[in-house]
Amino acid sequence: MSVPLPAETSTDDIGTRLKLVRQIFGLTQRELARRAGVTNGAISLIEQNRVSPSISSLKKILDGIPLTLADFFTLDFSPSDEVFFTAAELTEIAYQPEMSMRLVGRKAKGRALGMLRETYQPGADTGDTMLRHEGEECGIIVSGSLTVTVGVQERVLNPGDAYYFRSDIPHRFRNQGEEPCVLISANSPPTF
Amino acid sequence: MSVPLPAETSTDDIGTRLKLVRQIFGLTQRELARRAGVTNGAISLIEQNRVSPSISSLKKILDGIPLTLADFFTLDFSPSDEVFFTAAELTEIAYQPEMSMRLVGRKAKGRALGMLRETYQPGADTGDTMLRHEGEECGIIVSGSLTVTVGVQERVLNPGDAYYFRSDIPHRFRNQGEEPCVLISANSPPTF
DNA sequence: TCCTTGCGTTTAGTATTTTCAACAATTTAC
DNA sequence: GTAAATTGTTGAAAATACTAAACGCAAGGA
């Protein structure tokens, strides 16, 4: 993984936009072509902006992701700056000598979150068919380290580090370290 | 005017969707073609769903309206049932013997509106280059009658009748009666 | 090293869309 | 009423998009 950070895509740069979306969902041109029922060559040409696809083709392709035309033109796929936070970037919201509440991402912007304590043994992996579901998702590493992939971004998170992202962006968790990893995670709407 | 009520358009019925949008903005195929720099034949074929336009063509066409691709696929152009209300359909929210407050459209759904008293002399007309601006707009007829056109819909409103619509849908007011028309109107965000 | 596999790209041919021009139907003007 | 103008539609030619197959390249595995 570890794709270079993509720039913002304008509405009329369909090629870059499609490529970005495809990469975010972890698909190759051939795999997407297979799902969509078009040829990989067509996708290649579109992504290079050497042709302007017909609506019917574009729709077929997006159906393979899947993504609606409206979402394709509406959504902002540029990675948010606020996906990752270092331990130092967490907001202390209630400090007492025996306890500390540190909030991920400045302020809880009216989000209703359920919270979990998870343990990943060394080698544990949610798999490379990346997870994807409704809602938002948030977590903080307690001990050990965890490799987290969110769309095109990937980071190894260490104790105190955290993540926050929309769950409909494909994501994956792996413990590539040698000790168990404990993290506190939260999701919305609460699924557990 | 007085176009038959169009049905809801699905995302993949591009033809009907384009036709509806074009009619809402009061353009002929030829006029839109001229603005967009395509031929009228192309628009005709697209509207009949006999071809699936390329993104570049569709974008050129929408630029002639103008409308973004995102808006085209996102916006719900089907006329809301809640555009027009008869006097009897207004919601009485605070009745006292000496005063009555009647609300247009069930409930104020968190909308911030500015309000005006307008008078249209007989023959007055906001013109057929239809008005279009951000925000929402609302009004109620006090005396006289007023012909109001909103997108594809047109109605002659009499005292007590009212309207409520999004201001980015083209609209027009005309007094085709023989006495002055007084109405109370409101808009958001307040522009006066 | 060699072979295999999988990636994005390219090319030539086919399929589709778009233009251009003419058409029929309706409206506007005289 | 007729003529002129305007509307949406259509057919053949030109332009463009899509397919199928091959290419070059890089990464693993014997």
Of A54, A56, A73, the CB nearest to B73: A73
pLDDT at B5: 32
Of A11, A55, A72, the CB nearest to B68: A11
Judge if the beta carbon of A41 is closer than 7 A to nucleic acid strand C: yes
Query: Who has greater pLDDT, B182 or A12?
Result: B182
Per-residue pLDDT of A123-178, as tens digits, reads 777 765 455 566 677 777 778 888 888 776 778 888 877 888 777 777 788 888 88
Q: Which residues from 45-104 of A have any strand C atom under 7 Å from their CB? A: 45, 47-48, 50, 54, 56
Query: Among residues A154, A137, A157, A171, which one has the least CA distance to residue A25?
Result: A171
Q: C22 C1' – A53 CA distance, angstroms?
A: 30
Per-residue pLDDT of B81-101, as tens digits, reads 555 566 666 666 544 455 555
State the nearest Cα–Cα gap between B140 and chain A, in angstroms.
Answer: 35
Name the closest nucleotide to B22, judged by C1' and CA. Answer: D8
Can you tell me the distance from the alpha carbon of A33 to that of B117, in angstroms, rounded to the nearest whole number? 59
pLDDT at A5: 33
Query: Who has greater pLDDT, B168 or B39?
Result: B39
State the nearest Cα–Cα gap between B49 and chain A, in angstroms.
Answer: 11
Name the closest nucleotide to B52, judged by C1' and CA. Answer: C17
Cβ–Cβ of A55/B52 closer than 8 Å?
yes
**Which nucleotides in chain C lie closer than 7 A to a protein CB?**
6-11, 16-22
pLDDT at B134: 63
Stretches where chain A sits below pLDDT 70 are 1-12, 77-116, 127-135, 152, 187-192
Pick the residue of B63, B67, B69 with the most A CBs within 10 A to test the interface with A by mutation: B69
Whether B11 shows a pLDDT value over 60: the answer reads no
Of chain B, the percentage scoring pLDDT greater than 70 comes to: 64
| Region label for B23, one of left (φ > 0), alpha (ψ between -120 and 50) or beta (otherwise) | alpha
Which range has the top average pLDDT, A93-97, B68-72, B144-148, B162-166? B68-72
Domains and CATH numbers, chain A: 14-74 (1.10.260.40), 84-188 (2.60.120.10)
Could you tell me which residues come within 8 angstroms of residue A22 by beta carbon, excluding any fewer than 6 positions away? A29, A32, A43, A47, A65
Pick the residue of A18, A47, A73 with the most B CBs within 10 A to test the interface with B by mutation: A73
Whether B118 shows a pLDDT value over 50: the answer reads yes
Which range has the top average pLDDT, A18-27, A83-92, B106-115, B145-154? A18-27
Indicate the pLDDT class of residue B8, thresholds 50, 70 and 90: very low
Which residues of chain A have a CB within 8 Å of the CB of B12? 59
- Longest distance between any two alpha carbons in chain B, whole Å: 63
Name the closest nucleotide to A40, judged by C1' and CA. Answer: C8
Q: D17 C1' – B54 CA distance, angstroms?
A: 8
| Residue whose tokens read 């899947």 | A66
**Coil/strand/helix, residue A73:** helix
pLDDT at A47: 95
Can you tell me the distance from the alpha carbon of A46 to that of A33, in angstroms, rounded to the nearest whole number? 12
Contact B39, B61 (CB under 8 A): no
State the nearest Cα–Cα gap between B74 and chain A, in angstroms.
Answer: 5
Q: D27 C1' – A1 CA distance, angstroms?
A: 14
Mean pLDDT for chain B?
74
Per-residue pLDDT of B29-83, as tens digits, reads 999 999 999 999 999 999 999 999 999 999 999 999 889 999 899 877 665 555 5
State the nearest Cα–Cα gap between A178 and chain B, in angstroms.
Answer: 47
Can you tell me the distance from the alpha carbon of B130 to that of B168, in angstroms, rounded to the nearest whole number? 10
